[in-house]
Amino acid sequence: MMVINLQNIETILFKNTEVKLILSDLRHIFDQWLLSYRSPALTRMRKQSLIDLLNNLDGTHIEKLAKLFKSVVFIEKVQHNLVKNLDLPIMDTVENVLADCNGYKNMAISRNADKLSITLIR
């Protein structure tokens, strides 16, 4: 199993020429990274291109990478949102929705007629 995250994406994906050919629809991110890699003044753009690639990889890209590396590939996306807002109808399965929201330590809940508003805070 191969885990791709912010610490290793540069060595695994960006510096591999075969990956650039497979992920041709994300070529603009690779070009942005290459420009910032060659120019030390653009280090912020380099970090942003790493984050952009992580967040733009979807299921088809992961399947292509798994076929290339002949291993199961798992992507650790960057969660940079401090607050998450949920608007749900009042139902019995609210706990199932909240079970998918890991990493939030505090919450605020309000109710308005048939709608439940939940704000999750890191």
pTM above 0.85, yes or no: no
- Do 36 and 71 lie in a common domain? yes
Of 75, 92, 107, which closes a domain? 75
Q: Quickly list DSSP for 69-115.
A: HTS-EEE------SEEEEEEES-TTHHHHHHT-TT--EEEEEEETTE
Q: Does 71 lie in the same domain as 87?
A: no
Tell me: pLDDT of 66 over 90: yes
pLDDT in tens, 23-44: 999 999 999 999 999 998 999 9
**How many structural domains is the chain composed of?**
2
Q: Distance (Å, rounded) from C-alpha 121 to C-alpha 104? A: 5
Q: Is residue 64 located within the same domain as residue 97?
A: no
Report the C-alpha gap between 114 and 116 in whole angstroms: 7
Task: Report residue 27 as tokens.
Answer: 């070529």
Is residue 70 located within the same domain as residue 87?
no
Q: Tell whether 57 and 97 lie within a shared domain.
A: no
Return the H-helix or E-strand segment holding 20: helix 17-22
Co-location of 112 and 57 in the same domain = no
The number of CA neighbours under 13 Å toward the Cβ of 65 is 24
- Residue 77 vs residue 92, higher pLDDT: 77
Angle at Cα 50 formed by Cα 25 and Cα 17, nearest 5°? 55
7-26 pLDDT per residue, tens: 999 999 999 999 999 999 99
| Parent domain of 48 | 2-75
| Mean confidence (pLDDT) of the chain | 87
pLDDT at 80 over 70: no
Same-domain pairing of 65 and 93: no
Average of per-residue pLDDT across 71-98: 79
Average pLDDT of 51-68? 92
